[in-house]
Amino acid sequence: MAAGSVGVSKSNDGGGGGRVTMFVVLSCITAGMGGAIFGYDIGIAGGVSSMEPFLRKFFPEVYRRMKGDSHVSNYCKFDSQLLTAFTSSLYVAGLLTTFLASGVTARRGRRPSMLLGGAAFLAGAAVGGASLNVYMAILGRVLLGVGLGFANQAVPLYLSEMAPPRHRGAFSNGFQFSVGVGALAANVINFGTEKIKGGWGWRVSLSLAAVPAGLLLVGAVFLPETPNSLVQQGKDRRDVALLLRKIRGTDDVDRELDCIVAAADSGAMATGRSGLRMLLTQRQYRPQLVMAVAIPFFQQVTGINAIAFYAPVLLRTIGMGESASLLSAVVTGVVGAASTLLSMFLVDRFGRRTLFLAGGTQMLASQLLIGAIMAAKLGDDGGVSKTWAAALIFLIAVYVAGFGWSWGPLGWLVPSEIFPLEVRSAGQGVTVATSFVFTVFVAQTFLAMLCHMRAGIFFFFAAWLAAMTAFVYLLLPETRGVPIEQVDRVWREHWFWRRVLGMGSEEAPASGKL
């Protein structure tokens, strides 16, 4: 058996019978609007940042360099800390909101966090679309970031807890699929609004974030809370059982409910301290804490957000026109959404580790080739030929596809399913906060790194891709098919983590033998 894998039984002994009901499908689609807004906000920023009217109004120095300052390198035309602040302010606000959102999600439930997120998204869309100066535009992004702090905390937990165990991967990957659909919608809208005469198309792009925000806000009013959260809040068992029967489409829910209640009771008896303090101080949560930090860190240093934020900017760097660069971003958006949809069908069949390893290898190869072409063909002046531009677009699409069916969805799925109930909200908070920290870092530094490192930045990301693929191979156990309230057993059966937990090989279950 390969290093890092375990022989965990995939039985449903923790519950999980029944069928996939329309009730749970509609609930998860509504919750997924939080992912759609996330993707939309990522995609829209990169598009409007390459639109000439937007740059002329808010970033005149960047506009001047782009329009023909021959003394500035191709790699440095968009190097502006104010421009990157416009992008990264959203994630700074999200980071600061995350731990407040973690407390709300744990104490009040997943649904209230989605309601607060939807309201903040609406306010951000309104302010951004009506911006009169760069500071107002940044304020709009900050309000969107507050929404992200709540939505990214609550939605992945909601999806993983509502999903039947045997389909949890597909349902949870729906979050990243929603992100991909949102990003694709942003790219299509940017391509259309760029053509609006009068130079106000960027206002439409920023304002239309209100559409998924409104759907999330209105939908969350009618969403049920998850059974896990209701048990955590001490609700009556009979009421939880009624909801669980409705979700699963069967009366046979006693085993699953017993498992949820037992997990909640175990956490309550262990300590009265906060979930975050438990997570940080108790040895039994050490493997999950490592993953809560390492997985979102690695997800960001794949370089995906550099592509997602700045794909149109990057394509303009190699000499493409405004419309052509936005159209190319649409193409890569289609690829990203389609590959994430594919992962929904593959993840519960082949497992998390297989997709992580295959996708990481695909991304590594494409990053190396992108860097090689940029280094060989793009100097400080001029562009690249149409043939090499087409090759770069193809390789970016290959890279986006690799991310779309591996590190994109799995970066949210795995952290959402590995924590015991008593620290699940805190664990998701650590995951989201880590993601925001490194998203801010990438967003704020990418254009400066592109300017100073030139094509070497792609080799920088490639090195991280090699490291993270090795990390998964050695240290991430498989969680496919394991009921969410019993996932903790995969750490006790893993060749490395059982030693961290203080279990000798003689104490490990036989199924964990390598």
In tens, the pLDDT along 269-280 reads 443 347 888 899
Tell me, what's the pLDDT at 20? 80
Residue 363 and residue 457: Cα distance in Å, rounded? 14
Tell me, what's the pLDDT at 317? 61
Tell me, what's the pLDDT at 314? 65
Residue 98 and residue 101: Cα distance in Å, rounded? 5
Q: Of all helices (H) and strands (E), which one includes residue 314?
A: helix 304-317
Reading the block at residue 6, the tokens are: 């375990």
Q: Residue 326 class from Cβ within 10 Å (0-12 exposed, 13-18 middle, 19+ buried)?
A: buried
Reading the block at residue 330, the tokens are: 């649409």
Tell me, what's the pLDDT at 8? 40
- Which of 3.30.565.10, 3.40.50.2000, 1.20.1250.20, 3.10.50.30 would CATH assign to domain 22-225+284-498? 1.20.1250.20
Q: What type of residue is 402?
A: G
Whole-model pTM: value is 0.76
Tell me, what's the pLDDT at 4? 41
Which sign does the torsion angle of CA 311, 319, 51, 313 carry? positive
pLDDT along the chain (514 residues), means of 10: 40 53 85 89 83 91 76 75 86 90 89 95 96 94 95 90 84 85 90 90 95 92 91 90 90 88 65 72 94 94 73 62 72 89 92 96 94 80 74 89 93 90 87 89 80 86 96 95 86 94 58 36
- Give whole-number Cα distances, 284 to 153, 246, 497, in Å: 23, 34, 10
Residue in the block written with tokens 């893993």:
494
Tell me, what's the pLDDT at 2? 39
Q: How many residues does the chain have?
A: 514
Tell me, what's the pLDDT at 74? 67
Residue 101 and residue 115: Cα distance in Å, rounded? 11
